[in-house]
Amino acid sequence: MQVPAPFEYERATSVDQAIGLLERLGSSARLVAGGHSLLPMMKLRLANFEYLIDINDLHAELGYIRLSDDEVRIGAMTRHRELLESDVLAGVFPIFADAEKVIADPIVRNRGTLGGSLCQADPSEDLSAVCTTLDASCVIRGPGGSERVVTMEEFHVGPYETAVADNEILTEIRIPRKSFKVGSAYAKVERRAGDWAVVSAGAAVWLDQGRIVDARVGLAAVGPNTTGIPEISAALRGHEPDESLFELAGAIAARSCDPATDTRGSADYKRHLADELTRRTLRKAVERARS
Amino acid sequence: MTTTQDAKLTEFEDNDQKPVGFGRMLRKEDARLLRGRGRFVDDVQLPGMLHLAILRSPFAHANIVSIDTSAAEASPGVKAVVTGETLKGLGLAWMPTLSNDVQAVLATDRVRFQGQEVAFVVAEDRYQARDALELIDVEYEVLEPVVDVRKALSPDAPVIRTDLEGKTDNHVFDWETGDEEETNRVFASADVIVKEDIVYPRVHPAPMETCGSVADFDPVEGKLRLWSTTQAPHAHRTLYAIVAGLPEHKIQVIAPDIGGGFGNKVPIYPGYVHSIVGSIVTGKPVKWMEDRSENLISTGFARDYIMRAEIAATREGKILAIRTNVLADHGAFNGTAAPVKYPAGFFGVFTGSYDLQAAHCKMTAVYTNKAPGGVAYACSFRITEAVYLVERIVDALAYELQIDPAELRLKNFIQPEQFPYTTKTGWVYDSGDYEPTMRLAMEMAGYDELRKEQAEKRARGELMGIGIAFFTEAVGAGPRKNMDILGLGMADGCELRVHPTGKAVVRLSVKTQGQGHETTFAQIIAEELGIPPADIDVLHGDTDNTPFGLGTYGSRSTPVSGAAAALVARKVRDKAKLIASGMLEVSVADLDWVKGAFQVKGDPGRSVTIQEIAFRAHGAGDLPDGVEGGLEAQICYNPSNLTYPHGAYICVVDIDPGTAEVKVRRFIAVDDCGTRINPMIIEGQVHGGLTDGVGMALMEMISFDEDGNCLGASLMDYLIPTALEVPDWETGYTVTPSPHHPIGAKGIGESATVGSPPAIVNAVVDALKPFGIRHADMPLTPSRVWDAMRGQATPPI
Ligand SMILES: Cc1cc2nc3c(=O)[nH]c(=O)nc-3n(C[C@H](O)[C@H](O)[C@H](O)COP(=O)(O)OP(=O)(O)OC[C@H]3O[C@@H](n4cnc5c(N)ncnc54)[C@H](O)[C@@H]3O)c2cc1C
């Protein structure tokens, strides 16, 4: 049995109380949501914290999926399983269910959360790629009820680093809705079910009168950040979608990413997948937007 | 979901209540295991028990300059901190391995692989023990490691085993089999020679339960009780007696329920010895239970063979000869578990199921800065490597000759009338009838249809592959005249007692790790003695209460211990017959045995059941002259030969041309393990082995970076397959009994692990035929398949 170093533990009773604790304990404390990223690291003693503040009791407050005309709001404590099973999300952004089907396994999905996934900021993280694809923004709350909203680009400072300060909590993700036909899709290549991505890609396409008004692609596991690829969006806007366009997007994806060779695959292969999966997800997204 | 050749898969028909032993029957042990009432080593709790944690080397190769344990000793709850220096003082710093090498119990001078044991802490709980490890201050002087096995023998390679006097290189042994001259002669005159470099990468057994032990040394009695995760409790007891200098009758090794072994639990690991030392030092019971990473980085690995294979044939496809050159990576200590006269295990069966004119193998084994081990993971003592080699090179030949791989095999099989068949490397195959097995597999697969489908798909640019493997295994080690482990003959004892009411207890020397011994052995006794399996208790795993024998690995339980069980039951039956003759007042010659009773010849109305005889054996009244009371017997069985199961496997894969992902669509496994005792257990063994095969073929590998860091130190990095990677298994069977085994059984534990990797790899390579691919090494991850598709296949090491 792998055992973590000693730590103290407290269950948060409200978001503000949790922030109060964070404020007092500083960098020696960490929030624990689903625990599926944090606890393995602590058991392997790759991470040691003196205090853990458990925010699972805040699920009632921070676990939700709310749809309005101009956006979707998802609480940070919403669990993978809830994202997978949400009919509301499936209706507007099927990319979530696509991704959730290939994230980890049912046991991890029962506990792991959207907030934990984004805050872990692992470059192979799938939900970051989904949120990037959908141009999501992140709501961060700090001491005294202060709140700020940042883009995904701002949110991700680097691998395992986010804009969330020691005394702050990510509370919500907001995804804009546009008044066009939208389609989205996600694809992942993994060595085995439940494994982290060799590469994965998300795509979203907004169509007006058959033409692309906007398109976004988000990749995971091909470099240190999960920012979208603006060049693809620029190349696709204004055109009618077809195979040659997808091919162009794939080529841009392949050259815009910066994968590393590791036990999951060679850099060349990953670059090829960035191309292949970009084409596949764009194709699917367009198909969905049209139907 | 699985399909089998047996129509009545779901009918168990209360077989456990019947006097007839063989047939489907639910496993007796499952009631306990499924309800969470199993008792594993980590479930053992003793009064006052302390916990042990091991400090391991972060480096693959380094001198130990100094170790400061003072802070750890002062840490809360710590009872003892032990280093190599302490053990040296006790003469316990080194212990023998199963291959007559030595291995450090705790490093004294140097560490030789990442994860090697450097010190241990004994504390009141496992958290305190683990915390104290962080307080041990070790100063290392890092040395250049030997990681690339191909460079291990180069003159400038650092010498790893400086502990061995006079050692100036990293050479372990050279080994040779077959006739080199004759083989070369056949090769020289052959029409076609195909050569391929084939790597069987290092893999790990990764049993669900990691290794561990609880040692309880009683200083008053002078007795050591050791609960440990061992597949071979008796062999371990003798070795502890030799290592620790404790008298053997004062050592009791208990293997309780074991959560999977696959060879991982054959060796003695330093941790077991630590717990013993810890208990002696503290006077308290001490538990050690390794964590997942420790299991993956430090315990017995498997394979790691780099093989050059060559096959010679006529243009018409008659295989003439096979020769091979092997470089074997044995890690830092030669911990291979194999009969001593067989340093390469049973690799000599690389001639496969084919009638050859000549064969030759030359092997060199070397030390590297990696974990020791060598034979583990359901490999039947290296038969896994041998079968992979021959089945891969035969496929390469089929490719070259443009002959269908099934046809090529059928053309070259050893024929039924040739058995017993002596191979060109000296193995005597006991029995076999290969063609019906192969034909059945082809029929179940719909082989011709599959080839048609493949041709259509190829025309459309789709990648579909059909892979075949036909294997012959050599299991049931082994005859004591030439097989022993550290001088201990590989025979197995068995003891059977029938109680007065006709219930029985049978005591085995082997030990289940999940194979279902408690059911299979009850069925063997039931078949021979006519007592229902439900009335027979199977005891095993406790050296104080079972007869001596070498344990369970190499698929040897049924071939060796199963034979012992059948023979001990016959011995009891013989005695029962004498008693029955007295009870029925007829001569022994006038009695017939009908399952469960003796009957007077020609007078079926007059009979006595085995239960009645048992009561008489223990009861009042006279027994025939010269017959002692009681109804029990003991035996030690020495097999006259190994048994040779065989099988035909066909695998169908689809490959996504865009992502190079391999999907195993179908897998047909036809096994011939001789007489089938419990078909359900056999199928379970086959399903497990096939799943193992998917893992090895497609994803598993323990790899290292250039500094010798293990890159497979967690199950996130070392992948094992899930239900989603495997198809519905389609199993079938033929039955060719072993002529020398009392019930004709041959062993099934490892067949599928041996046979499935070549079938899967052959299928993937077949799918890649349009790219002109003749070989690609495991693991066939998407990235490596993509490389192969572009003609850039590389060996994994
Ligand atoms: C076996 C396994 C396989 C996996 N496979 C995948 C996969 O294929 N793809 C994938 O994307 N992920 C995968 N994961 C990761 C999984 O999705 C995790 O659940 C997720 O990354 C983290 O979510 P969590 O709620 O468990 O976070 P935790 O582990 O609880 O926290 C992670 C980090 O985020 C911080 N944090 C959590 N919530 C907040 C918040 N609201 N505000 C600020 N900080 C916060 C924590 O302090 C911590 O630093 C896998 C995990 C496991 C164990």
| Closest residue on chain A to B656 (Cα) | A189
From ligand 1's centre to the CA of A276, what distance in Å? 27
Q: What would the two tokens of residue B283 be?
A: 């006077």
Average pLDDT of chain A? Answer: 96
Domain end: B637, B663, B686, which one? B637
Distance, CA of B326 to CA of B198 (rounded, Å): 10
* Residue B718 vs residues B700, B712, B784: alpha-carbon distances, Å: 6, 5, 16
| Closest residue on chain A to B659 (Cα) | A273
Instruction: Decide if pLDDT at A16 tops 90.
Output: yes
Residues B409-466 pLDDT 10s: 999 999 999 999 999 999 999 999 999 999 999 999 999 999 999 999 999 999 999 9
- Identify whether B169 is part of a domain: no
Model pLDDT, residue B306: 98
Instruction: Decide if pLDDT at B8 tops 60.
Output: no
Domain with CATH 3.30.43.10 in chain A: 8-58
From ligand 1's centre to the CA of B133, what distance in Å? 28
Return all residues near B125 (Cβ < 8 A) that are at least 6 apart.
B51, B77
B449, B309: one domain: yes
| Residue in B326, B344, B353, B328 with CA at minimum distance from that of residue B381 | B344
* Residue A95 vs residues A202, A223, B305, B602: alpha-carbon distances, Å: 7, 21, 44, 80
DSSP-derived pairing of the beta strands B192-203 and B421-422: unpaired
Which residue has the least CA distance to atom 37 on ligand 1? A116
Instruction: Decide if pLDDT at B245 tops 90.
Output: no
The reply to whether B709 touches chain A by the CB within 8 Å rule is no
Instruction: Decide if pLDDT at B549 tops 80.
Output: yes
Which residue ranges have their beta carbon within 6 Å of ligand 1? Answer: A 30-38, 40, 76, 103-104, 108, 112-113, 115-117, 119-120, 125-127, 164, 169-170, 194, 196
- In this structure, the number of other CB atoms found within 10 A of the CB of residue A119 comes to 26
The reply to whether B658 touches chain A by the CB within 8 Å rule is yes
CB contact under 8 A, A191 and B711: no
- Amino acid at residue number B396: A
Q: What is the number of structural domains in chain B?
A: 3
pLDDT (mean) for B230-250: 93
Residues 252 through 311 of chain B touching chain A, CB cutoff 8 Å: 289, 291-293
Distance, CA of B288 to CA of B298 (rounded, Å): 15
Using 50, 70 and 90 to split pLDDT, how confident is the model at B3?
A: low
Residue-wise burial string across B324-340, b where 16 or more C-beta atoms lie within 10 A, e elsewhere: bebbbbbbbbbbbbbbe
Strand spans (E) along B473-550: 484-485, 488-489, 492-498, 504-508, 536-539
Instruction: Decide if pLDDT at B10 tops 80.
Output: no
From ligand 1's centre to the CA of A38, what distance in Å? 7
Model pLDDT, residue B380: 83
Give alpha helix (H) positions in B311-464. 383-401, 405-412, 434-445, 447-459
Q: Is residue B104 within 8 Å of B85, Cβ to Cβ? A: no
Distance, CA of B99 to CA of B336 (rounded, Å): 6
- Amino acid at residue number B259: G
* Omega before residue B270 within 30° of 0, cis: no
CB contact under 8 A, A6 and B134: no
Instruction: Decide if pLDDT at B7 tops 80.
Output: no
DSSP-derived pairing of the beta strands A147-151 and A156-158: unpaired
Q: Is residue B331 within 8 Å of B704, Cβ to Cβ? A: no
CB contact under 8 A, B126 and A264: no
Q: Scan for tokens 């044939």, then name that residue.
A: B313
Instruction: Decide if pLDDT at B540 tops 70.
Output: yes
| Closest residue on chain B to A43 (Cα) | B291
B473, B498: one domain: no
Domain end: B298, B320, B347, which one? B298
Domain with CATH 3.30.390.50 in chain A: 181-290
The size of the A-B interface in CB pairs under 8 A is 67
Instruction: Decide if pLDDT at B4 tops 80.
Output: no
The reply to whether B125 touches chain A by the CB within 8 Å rule is no
Query: Residue B494 in 3-state DSSP?
Result: strand
Residues B276-308 pLDDT 10s: 999 999 999 999 999 999 999 999 999 999 999
Domain end: B637, B664, B697, which one? B637
CB contact under 8 A, A1 and B783: no
CB contact under 8 A, B782 and A269: yes
Q: B308 pairs with which residues across the strands?
A: B197, B325
Residues B486-507 pLDDT 10s: 899 999 999 999 999 999 999 9
CATH number of the domain within which B742 lies? 3.30.365.10
Q: What would the two tokens of residue A269 be?
A: 């292969």
Model pLDDT, residue B17: 73
B533, B597: one domain: yes
Angle at B293 between CA B292 and CA B296, to 5 degrees: 90
Q: How far apart are the first and last CA of chain A?
A: 51
* Residue A219 vs residues A93, A100, A259, A287: alpha-carbon distances, Å: 17, 15, 11, 20
* Omega before residue B372 within 30° of 0, cis: no
The reply to whether A196 touches chain B by the CB within 8 Å rule is yes
DSSP-derived pairing of the beta strands B50-56 and B3-4: unpaired
* Omega before residue B467 within 30° of 0, cis: no
B545, B580: one domain: yes
Q: Is residue A253 within 8 Å of A217, Cβ to Cβ? A: yes
Distance, CA of B510 to CA of B15 (rounded, Å): 24
Residues 721 through 750 of chain B touching chain A, CB cutoff 8 Å: 721-722, 724-725
B58, B112: one domain: yes
- Identify whether B173 is part of a domain: no
- Identify whether B158 is part of a domain: no
Distance, CA of A210 to CA of B27 (rounded, Å): 63
Which listed CATH number (3.30.450.20, 3.10.450.30, 3.40.50.2000, 3.30.465.10) goes with A59-176? Answer: 3.30.465.10
Interface test with B, best of A103, A192, A280 (most B CBs within 10 A): A192
B289, B344: one domain: no
Interface test with A, best of B783, B785, B790 (most A CBs within 10 A): B783
Question: Per-residue DSSP letters for B109-160?
Answer: SEE-STT-EEEEEEESSHHHHHHHHTT-EEEEEE------GGGTTSTTSPPS
Using 50, 70 and 90 to split pLDDT, how confident is the model at B183?
A: very high
DSSP-derived pairing of the beta strands B632-637 and A156-158: unpaired
B537, B670: one domain: no
- Identify whether B316 is part of a domain: yes
| Residue in B792, B756, B753, B749 with CA at minimum distance from that of residue B773 | B792
B259 to chain A nearest CA, in Å? 14
Distance, CA of A24 to CA of B335 (rounded, Å): 54
pTM of the model: 0.97
Residue-wise burial string across B72-94, b where 16 or more C-beta atoms lie within 10 A, e elsewhere: beebebbbbbbbbebbeeeebbb
| Residue in A6, A52, A5, A56 with CA at minimum distance from that of residue A30 | A52
CB contact under 8 A, B717 and A198: no
Region for B541 from its dihedrals, namely left if φ exceeds 0, alpha if ψ lies in -120 to 50, beta otherwise: left
Instruction: Decide if pLDDT at A42 tops 50.
Output: yes
- Identify whether B241 is part of a domain: yes
The range of the structural domain enclosing residue B620 comes to 8-38+491-637
- Identify whether B526 is part of a domain: yes
B365, B450: one domain: yes
Q: Is residue A96 within 8 Å of A197, Cβ to Cβ? A: no
- Identify whether B496 is part of a domain: yes
Angle at B315 between CA B313 and CA B316, to 5 degrees: 95
Q: Scan for tokens 């008659």, then name that residue.
A: B318
What sign has the CA pseudo-torsion A205, A206, A212, A216?
A: negative
pLDDT (mean) for B568-572: 98
CB contact under 8 A, B291 and A273: no
Q: What are phi and psi of A181, to 5 degrees?
A: -70, 135
Q: What would the two tokens of residue B275 be?
A: 């717990």
Give alpha helix (H) positions in B38-83. 70-73
The reply to whether B590 touches chain A by the CB within 8 Å rule is no
Which residue has the least CA distance to atom 1 on ligand 1? A104
By Cβ distance, the residue of B126, B711, B725 closest to A263 is: B711
Residue-wise burial string across B150-186, b where 16 or more C-beta atoms lie within 10 A, e elsewhere: eebeeeebeebbebeeeeeebebbebebbbeeebeeb
B271, B402: one domain: no
A63 to chain B nearest CA, in Å? 28
Distance, CA of A266 to CA of A281 (rounded, Å): 22
The reply to whether A191 touches chain B by the CB within 8 Å rule is yes
Distance, CA of B382 to CA of B346 (rounded, Å): 6
Query: Ligand 1 pocket check: which of A32, A155, A156 to mutate, most ligand atoms within 8 Å of Cβ?
Result: A32
Q: Scan for tokens 């190599």, then name that residue.
A: B84
Per CB-CB distance under 8 Å, the chain B contacts of A263 are 703, 711, 717
Q: What is the DSSP letter of B621?
A: S
CB contact under 8 A, B717 and A263: yes
Prediction ipTM score: 0.96
The reply to whether A201 touches chain B by the CB within 8 Å rule is no
Average pLDDT of chain B? Answer: 95
Residues B201-215 pLDDT 10s: 999 999 999 999 999
Using 50, 70 and 90 to split pLDDT, how confident is the model at B338?
A: confident
Q: Scan for tokens 């999300």, then name that residue.
A: A89
Per CB-CB distance under 8 Å, the chain B contacts of A277 are 659
B714, B777: one domain: yes
Which listed CATH number (3.30.43.10, 3.40.718.10, 3.10.180.10, 3.40.50.80) goes with A8-58? Answer: 3.30.43.10
B472, B506: one domain: no
Instruction: Decide if pLDDT at B1 tops 50.
Output: no
Query: Ligand 1 pocket check: which of A2, A19, A31 to mutate, most ligand atoms within 8 Å of Cβ?
Result: A31
The reply to whether B794 touches chain A by the CB within 8 Å rule is no
Return all residues near B274 (Cβ < 8 A) that are at least 6 apart.
B52, B54, B82, B105, B106, B117, B120, B288
Q: What would the two tokens of residue B338 be?
A: 């194999």
Residues A68-119 pLDDT 10s: 999 999 999 999 999 999 999 999 999 999 999 999 999 999 999 999 999 9
Model pLDDT, residue A228: 83
pLDDT (mean) for A141-157: 95
Distance, CA of A277 to CA of A289 (rounded, Å): 18
Domain with CATH 3.30.465.10 in chain A: 59-176
Model pLDDT, residue B243: 82
Angle at B578 between CA B573 and CA B580, to 5 degrees: 85
Q: Ligand 1 atom closest to Cα of A122?
A: 21
* Residue B325 vs residues B1, B322, B612, B656: alpha-carbon distances, Å: 42, 10, 62, 35
Q: What percent of chain B has pLDDT over 90?
A: 93
Return all residues near B739 (Cβ < 8 A) that are at least 6 apart.
B420, B430, B431
* Residue B756 vs residues B220, B469, B753, B782: alpha-carbon distances, Å: 53, 7, 6, 19
B435, B321: one domain: yes
From ligand 1's centre to the CA of B115, what distance in Å? 28
Chain-centre distance of CA B661, in angstroms? 30
Using 50, 70 and 90 to split pLDDT, how confident is the model at B755?
A: very high
- Amino acid at residue number B168: T
Residues B582-609 pLDDT 10s: 999 999 999 999 989 999 999 999 999 9
Per CB-CB distance under 8 Å, the chain A contacts of B717 are 263
Chain-centre distance of CA B196, in angstroms? 27
Distance, CA of B305 to CA of B702 (rounded, Å): 13
Domain A181-290 classification at class level: alpha beta
